[in-house]
Structure 1
């Protein structure tokens, strides 16, 4: 079993990659900005360079992550051009031997409110719907209803999933965050429930049409996390896992340290094993430390926790 960590593309360097290797990371995710991908340019040489840099530090470049571009979610006039750009990205990743592409499909988000303070003075990423609703978050140019967003999702998948299959790339769809299945900021949200995921899987049946199983977001949905792992994992649709946890309810939660959330993390790991999941686990992100020189401490703590859990359950 493997542990995966992420970096923005401009921070991929020997110093950071060697740090990842030292703390026990196996796989690398690169998070490029959408503008660096949506122009449709052939970037195969860039991906090969990043792959070689990762491998020279003992890591495997496993995944690239991006957002769902506005042209795709809102069906602007240049949608087909941007779909072509997405297909170019898929082909480049396939040629470079990078097997997964993480993405989301929402016009607006993520949403958060004022951070709660946790142990040692860290700041927890927090969402309080009642506080959020006190302000107008409407984005006039991104208004879209649910039927239209569903139509745009299916149109997109029908055109890109065949290319993903041909390229040997699995597309991993991240849940809405927060996963509230109602319009927020004037835009519908259709990746907020497990039933919506099944509708997405059924729309275009393919091993390349999968879920980025963000366990924190699934917990935010208010469902039984273990049953959710069995549900999605039973279909073979978990591409990789954000192994993190929260405290709270769908409308009032905070993202806490990996050891202090409301989910039995060992039982979760055992459930992943039981459904046959063998993909990578990621911490996703951790609370923000106020102390100087502590920016990377949370990563190391979460990676060490995951490594111990993997050794305890899988090995």
Structure 2
């Protein structure tokens, strides 16, 4: 398997030299400075590719080429924005970059309520707290009928918690949820989020799924023509939030997406952390089932909490993900495809020096280094066992 590392560009506190010392050979990145909906030029792509190559690394995966909200909503003129997206795919292929991760989550990319949740060993991690999410939805955002979308016990606890929160607490929670986490495609303040949320009125799961199918029918032929594999990323978290539907959360969702465009160019990004939040997702079975269509893997573990909704990022070899079974299935997927698959460690804990220096939320150096080392150990052990 190809060891890769997510890098957020020249301003990332973790440098390309740091990545090379970690032992990874591939980079996962994007042109994060390009506005959503802009065609990525060949020149801009080549400049970033060459910067990575000069550090002795290879740009293996794009994560992500943002899908414009007009496409997700099926708004008038969405076709032009889809064609612009497809042109970026053509330009990436012209620079020999052939794996593209993207997502179809409305408005918000991955969402958490706490970026520095303290664990018993002193490590800091990302967390999604169902009560805090309800506080934001019901009491801060003030979404109509929001209370009905939350478990009654969660809603009652949210009312109590909100009553004890200061204005600064509310502002911090709001920033964490909607100001844009690393790699997010959009960033909002409260008023602009309300305005954009209103644009999704009347768009339910069936409508969003239909819009995704229309998008794929338009762009997958282009990807197939130029030899690019698209890998849709699962929803994170994999359930509706703030009234927004989700369509990439379960095995049934993944099968439906593959059926929308029956092409090897229409693939999956298999994220064990996102899919693992749902107890009804059997991850090893899903990876075995969909392995021939997996383009890229995010290997991380989450731990579901007592309320069945909240979760936090666990160590890569702990939590609710059987990482040994996942790695075994990933190696089998490689064999089925006849090619090496890229993977990356994801959402490492803030450990030791990570806590005393600047790092991108969810992407500290030492925490991911630990994760990569643990994953490398599993893969080497499996390869050794297969050879003896």
TM-score, normalised relative to structure 1: 0.90
Distance in 2 between residues matched to 1:34 and 1:49, nearest whole Å: 13
Could you tell me which residue of structure 1 aligns to residue 357 of structure 2?
293
**Bigger mean CA deviation after superposition, 91-100 or 134-143:** 134-143
Deviations 1:133-172 (A, max 9, x none): 2432542233321222122111100100000011111111
Please report how far the alpha carbon of residue 83 of structure 1 lies from its aligned counterpart in structure 2 after TM superposition: 0.9
Specify which of 208, 213, 230 is matched with residue 270 of structure 2.
213
Could you tell me which residue of structure 1 aligns to residue 178 of structure 2?
none
Could you tell me which residue of structure 2 aligns to residue 302 of structure 1?
371
Specify which of 271, 279, 282 is matched with residue 341 of structure 2.
279
Contact kept in structure 2, 1:108 and 1:142, CA below 8 Å: no
Are residue 151 (structure 1) and residue 220 (structure 2) matched? Answer: no
Q: Aligned runs of 1:120-159 on 2, under 5 Å?
A: 120-136=121-137, 138=143, 139-143=197-201, 144-159=203-218
- Partner of 1:314, secondary structure, is helix
Q: Aligned runs of 1:1-315 on 2, under 5 Å?
A: 1-11=1-11, 16-33=15-32, 35-36=34-35, 38-40=37-39, 43-66=41-64, 67-109=66-108, 110-114=110-114, 116-136=117-137, 138=143, 139-143=197-201, 144-180=203-239, 183-222=240-279, 223-233=281-291, 236-248=292-304, 251-276=309-334, 278-289=340-351, 291-293=355-357, 295-315=364-384
Distance in 1 between residues matched to 2:123 and 2:242, nearest whole Å: 29
Contact kept in structure 1, 2:112 and 2:128, CA below 8 Å: yes
**Bigger mean CA deviation after superposition, 49-58 or 137-146:** 137-146
Distance in 1 between residues matched to 2:274 and 2:112, nearest whole Å: 13
Deviations 1:40-86 (A, max 9, x none): 3x511121122222222221111112233211101223312211210
List, as ranges, runs of 4+ consecutive aligned residues in structure 1 with deviation greater than 4 Å. Answer: none
Deviations 1:262-294 (A, max 9, x none): 333222212222343630121122123462138
Distance in 2 between residues matched to 1:46 and 1:119, nearest whole Å: 45
- Partner of 2:315, secondary structure, is coil
- Partner of 2:104, secondary structure, is coil
Change (3 A) 1:80 1:260: same
Deviations 1:165-190 (A, max 9, x none): 1111111100111101xx42222111
- Partner of 2:5, secondary structure, is strand
RMSD between aligned residues:
2.2
TM-score, normalised relative to structure 2: 0.74
Contact kept in structure 2, 1:108 and 1:185, CA below 8 Å: no
Query: Between Structure 1 and Structure 2, whose CA radius of gyration is higher?
Result: 2
Please report how far the alpha carbon of residue 218 of structure 1 lies from its aligned counterpart in structure 2 after TM superposition: 1.7
Q: How many residue pairs were aligned?
A: 309
Contact kept in structure 1, 2:230 and 2:267, CA below 8 Å: yes
Change (3 A) 1:54 1:34: closer
Could you tell me which residue of structure 1 aligns to residue 179 of structure 2?
none
Distance in 1 between residues matched to 2:6 and 2:57, nearest whole Å: 12
Could you tell me which residue of structure 1 aligns to residue 176 of structure 2?
none
- Partner of 1:36, secondary structure, is coil
Please report how far the alpha carbon of residue 37 of structure 1 lies from its aligned counterpart in structure 2 after TM superposition: 5.3
Gaps of 5+ in 1: none
Contact kept in structure 2, 1:28 and 1:61, CA below 8 Å: yes
Gaps of 5+ in 2: 144-196, 359-363
Contact kept in structure 1, 2:127 and 2:311, CA below 8 Å: yes
